[in-house]
């Protein structure tokens, strides 16, 4: 399986999946008109990685604004991680936020609520 990379646009975040490192990163705002189109490739990549790679997976998130369908997509991805975690696979999320906007940290807390895998909220 290979890496993938989606460049940032005005309404979508930059996304990189690095298969050999086991890292999926996202940076920016996400309010696309069609979230499914954007996130299904991310979802599939995560699904395949968890199935085939046999390595730990870490998500490095630098996300600021998410629209409603992007929130749903992120929750679906976290559900995948949660299932993998229950199956004994090491997964982790690092949610990075700008300390000048503490509200992003509160929102990350909301996402973290139902997750039992390691989920760090890191200020910079």
Q: Tell me the pairing of strands 91-97 and 57-66.
A: parallel
Residue 15, classified by CB atoms within 10 Å of its CB into exposed (0-12), middle (13-18) or buried (19+), is buried
Determine which residue in the list 107, 117, 119, 121 makes contact with other proteins, applying CB under 8 A: 107
**CA-to-CA dists, residue 53 to 3, 11, 29, 97, 107, angstroms:** 12, 31, 29, 29, 30
C-alpha of 19 from chain center: 14
Q: From residue 1 to residue 40, what is the string marking binding to other proteins with x (rule CB under 8 A)?
A: ----------------------------------------
Examine residue 105 and tell whether it contacts other proteins (CB under 8 A): no
Q: Who's near 114: CB < 8 A, 6+ residues apart?
A: 78, 82
Determine which residue in the list 66, 77, 81, 84 makes contact with other proteins, applying CB under 8 A: 66
Contact window for other proteins (CB under 8 A) among 3-11, 36-44, 53-61, 100-108 = 100-108
Determine which residue in the list 6, 23, 53, 71 makes contact with other proteins, applying CB under 8 A: 71
Determine which residue in the list 90, 106, 116, 118 makes contact with other proteins, applying CB under 8 A: 106
Positions in the binding site for other proteins (CB under 8 A): 65-68, 71-72, 75, 101, 103-104, 106-107, 110-111, 113-114
């Amino acid at each position: 399986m290979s890496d993938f990379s989606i460049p940032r646009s005005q309404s979508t975040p930059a996304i990189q999946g690095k298969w050999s490192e086991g890292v999926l990163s996202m940076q920016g705002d996400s309010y696309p008109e069609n979230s499914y189109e954007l996130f299904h490739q991310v979802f599939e990549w995560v699904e395949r990685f968890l199935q085939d790679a046999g390595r730990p997976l870490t998500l490095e998130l630098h996300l600021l604004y998410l629209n409603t369908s992007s929130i749903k997509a992120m929750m679906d991805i976290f559900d995948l991680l949660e299932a993998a975690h229950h199956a004994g696979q090491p997964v982790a999320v690092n949610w990075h936020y700008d300390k000048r906007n503490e509200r992003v940290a509160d929102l990350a807390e909301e996402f973290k609520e139902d997750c039992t895998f390691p989920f760090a909220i890191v200020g910079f």
